[in-house]
Chains A and B, each alone.
Chain A
Amino acid sequence: MASVTLENVTKRYGEEVAVDNMNLEIEDGEFVTFVGPSGCGKSTSMETIAGLTIPTEGSVYIGGEEVTNLPPKDRGISMVFQNIALFPHMDVYDNISFGLRLRKYDQEEIDERVQKAADVVQLGGMMDRMPEEMSGGQRQRVAIARAIVREPEVFLMDEPLANLDAELRVHMRTQLQRLHRELDTTIVYVTHDQAQAMTMSDRIVVVNDGHLMQVDPPLTCYNEPDNLFVAGFIGSPAMNFVEGQATEDGFTSTYMDTPFDPTNYGIEPGQNLTMGIRPEDVYLERDTHLAEEPSRTYEAVVDVLEPMGDEIFAYLLLDEDVEASAEGRGEGQLLISLDPDTVIAPGDDIEIVIDRSDVHLFDTDTGQAITHDILE
């Protein structure tokens, strides 16, 4: 077990900046997930921790010791790779014991440890199989066994579930959480799938363009996003954004306005604001009592319905003149989530209210969050 610290880490590939001046402290035994769109620098950050990449500037510490220039093998880490990366010319036993054999452990201890690791991931009786004879899920378990058998201080996982089918992915997700509880090791996890990040981590690190956007527990990132990027990235379906301006007595935009006292939040009249509303924080007018701080009612037309079984996603047009954009998330459009029993049809005129205690306001120009509720 060990903590991991990134100090002013910058990685450049020629002119391209993959990671820009990153500072991050990961505590002992923590499960931290790097999440962000592809090419955002999350994998590079992990490779820097692993030692597969040497940062252009800055330092990396593992367990308080500087490891910036140490090769991967001397860092007390192990890693699970996106493409699984089992050695195709070795059977399961040789794959799992590879690191132990390199470190010249006794044959007895190797056997014992391999057995234990195989038991953790339920791989008993497959020791002499070759990787090509196994299914994707089995290979993934071998890769995890190979990583845990050395009892590393830090466990790195680079999109380990990306190549699995949906059902197996959900299963492995719970497996990994159980594993974290049993091993009590620091785990650094990289994914572009925010569902994995939300479900497993103690904290998530949202990365975009090589910058840290927010480092917080999953629910904090969901309920109190620091900026527009995090607000839009975390949550599925994504938050609705309404672009507008601040006035003397509230927020105004083409299709939606909300009265509040801007001085409470240090907002100057005329400032460009973006209002963020999660689909589940919008209610039908008759369900107003469910909202903690209901807003006034807005009129809308139902455009498209997506019944999911446990809820219905309704794409609304806030005015009959609004042109529906292809993805249904343009200006004057609103995505809301409704109770599955709601009787509703495309074309219906409905009235909605918004829960003001869950409305987010962002400064459009800087992207920074101003408030996560607008109470009068």
Chain B
Amino acid sequence: MSGEEQHPDLEAQERAGQEEPELDRGIVEAWAARAISNPDRAYKATFYLATFFFLVTTLFPFYWLLMVALTPRGNLSDVGVLTPAGFNPGAFVEIFTRLPFHRYMFNSFLIATVATVLVLFVASLAGYVFGRLRFRGRNALLLSVLVTSFFPPAAFFIPLNRLFNTNIDALRPILSAGSLYNTPYAIFIPLSALYLPLSIFILMTFYSQIPDGLEDAARVEGTTRLGALFRVIVPLSAPGVATAGVLTFITVYNEYFFSSLMTDGRPQNWAPMLEGVLRFQGEFEVLFNLMAAASIVAVLPVAILVIVAQEKIVSGLTAGAVKE
């Protein structure tokens, strides 16, 4: 096309490309104008702002918890917003001497681990069935699993509490009292059941993505369907399994409602970590510094687990990403 007679749109575009005329603008207006002409700046700015906001809201409570934990008992009312009132790291030792807090943590850790293993095993079987098999009534069954998770956990408490306090003779060989109250079973059985649907949904999605050919190959090579599930499908769904496992572990480990009501609160009776934290409030005073220290220590196992699992999740996600 000759340059003499340009389309009006093209002319307008060319004009826009030239320098903006100098205008009398304030800082914000100038910034907005630059952001419009160069949207990447706006995206970057929004990203940093959002990240900063997110980090402050998640990490500041931790920071302040640390400040409270470091403050000596007498100065608890003087804790500043950013600084402790004094310096007493002994609180982190005292929580183990005053109470067997490690026993509470061990109880919680064990209960959460057993619940996670149980949930992953059962959810794997259910996820396989829902994700890979076609059968009549599949959707109705899936819906009924989902419905279970609609109920508030409190709705199950009264009947379960009655049930767990009943002495069942058949259980006497395993449990001295014959009832489930004051045993770890009383906590992880209801919690596993409550958090199972979520894991089933996560694993169902992942298992359905595994090509049929791989399962067929495993079965021809010598596994049963179950063998194919645990030798091929589960390892290939590692990110999904890790996600479901971490979610279940964290939820059970941090759970309050059943944890506080299904035992009498003594560590030898499998009272969980949370009971331990609350035990630092006595009749006449509340030892906020010890509670804060206990809270921080209690977070460590979960933090370690997430860091380890996250590596697995990332490696699982990138393993199949590069093709040829």
Contact B214 A85 (CB under 8 A): yes
Q: In the complex the two chains form, is A52's CB within 8 Å of B236's CB?
A: no
**A74-115 interface bits toward B, Cβ cutoff 8 Å, 1 = contact, 0 = none:** 000111011111111100000000110011000000000000
Residues of A within 8 A of B216 (CB): 50, 52, 72, 79, 81, 85
B219 touches A73 (CB 8 A): yes
Whether the pair A52, B220 counts as a contact (CB closer than 8 A) is: yes
For residue B220, which residues in chain A have a CB less than 8 angstroms away from its CB?
50-52, 72-73, 77-79, 156
In the complex, whether B227 has a CB less than 8 A from a CB of chain A is yes
Range of interface residues on chain B?
20 to 34
Whether a CB of chain B sits under 8 angstroms from the CB of A347 is: no
Residues of B contacting A52 with CB < 8 Å? 216, 219-220
Is the pair A71, B322 in contact by a Cβ cutoff of 8 Å?
A: no
Q: Name the residue in A78, A89, A150, A156 with the highest tally of chain B Cβ atoms < 10 Å from its Cβ.
A: A89
Chain A residues, CB < 8 A from B319: 88-89, 132
| Residues of A contacting B261 in the complex (Cβ-Cβ under 8 angstroms) | none
Q: Are A83 and B213 in contact (CB under 8 A)?
A: yes
Q: Which residues of B have CB within 8 Å of A89?
A: 232, 235-236, 319
* A356 at interface, CB cutoff 8 A: no
Q: Are B222 and A132 in contact (CB under 8 A)?
A: no
Q: Which residues of A contact B214 (CB under 8 A)?
A: 85, 87-88
A85 and B219: CB pair below 8 A? no
Whether A88 and B320, one on each chain, are in contact in the complex, defined by CB atoms closer than 8 angstroms, is yes
| Interfacial chain A residues near B224, Cβ < 8 Å | 71, 73
Interface positions of A from 107 to 152, Cβ below 8 Å from B: 132, 135, 146, 150
Q: Do residues B322 and A87 form an inter-chain contact, with CB atoms below 8 A?
A: no
Kindly state the separation between the CA atoms of A77 and B221 in the bound complex, as whole angstroms.
8
- Taking the nearest CB of chain A, how far is it from the CB of B275, in angstroms? 41
Q: Is B323 an interface residue (CB 8 A)?
A: yes
The A-B contact count (CB < 8 A) is: 69
CB of B218 within 8 Å of the partner chain: yes
Q: When the two chains form the complex, which single residue of A71, A77, A81, A103 contacts B217, counting CB atoms closer than 8 Å? A: A81
Q: Does B165 contact A (CB under 8 A)?
A: no
**Contact A132 B323, beta carbon cutoff 8 Å:** yes
Min distance, Cβ B227 to any Cβ of chain A, angstroms:
7
- The one of B223, B227, B236, B324 that contacts A88, using a Cβ cutoff of 8 Å: B236
- Please indicate the chain A residues that have their CB under 8 angstroms from the CB of B61 in the complex: none
Q: Point out the residues of chain B lying under 8 angstroms from A85, CB to CB.
A: 211, 213-214, 216-217
* A73-B223, A83-B211, A89-B235 known; A132 vs B217 contact (CB < 8 Å): no
Residue in chain A with minimal CB distance to B323:
A132
Which bracket fits the contact residues of A? 20 to 34
Chain B: minimal CB distance from A50 (Å): 6
Q: Which residues of A contact B324 (CB under 8 A)?
A: 132, 135
Determine if A98 and B221 form an interchain contact, defined as CB atoms under 8 angstroms apart.
yes
Shortest Cβ distance from A231 into chain B, in angstroms?
Answer: 34
Report the separation of the CA atoms of residues A88 and B321 in the bound assembly, to the nearest whole angstrom. 12
Judging by beta carbons under 8 Å apart, are B217 and A79 in contact? Answer: yes
Q: Which of A88, A102, A156 contacts B221 (CB 8 A)?
A: A102
* 19 cross-chain CB contacts under 8 A: A51-B220, A52-B216, A52-B220, A71-B219, A72-B216, A73-B221, A73-B223, A73-B224, A77-B220, A79-B217, A79-B220, A85-B213, A87-B217, A87-B232, A88-B214, A88-B319, A89-B319, A98-B221, A102-B221
CB <8 Å contact, B222 and A99? yes
User: In the complex, what residues of B have CB within 8 A of residue A51's CB?
Assistant: 219-220
User: Restricting to A217-265, which residues have a CB under 8 Å from any CB of B?
Assistant: none
Which A residues from 300 to 314 make CB contacts under 8 A with B? none
Chain A residues whose CB sits within 8 angstroms of the CB of B223 once the complex forms? 73, 102
Measured CA separation A86–B322 after assembly (Å)? 16
- The reply to whether B219 and A87 form a contact with Cβ atoms under 8 Å apart is no
A75 CB to nearest chain B CB (Å): 8
B242 to chain A minimum Cβ distance, whole angstroms, is 14
* Contact yes or no, A81 B222, CB < 8 A: no
Residue picked from B216, B218, B227, B322, most chain A C-beta under 10 Å: B216
Given contacts A98-B218, A132-B324, 13 further A-B contacts (CB under 8 A): A50-B220, A77-B220, A83-B213, A84-B213, A85-B213, A88-B319, A89-B236, A98-B221, A99-B221, A99-B222, A102-B222, A102-B223, A132-B320
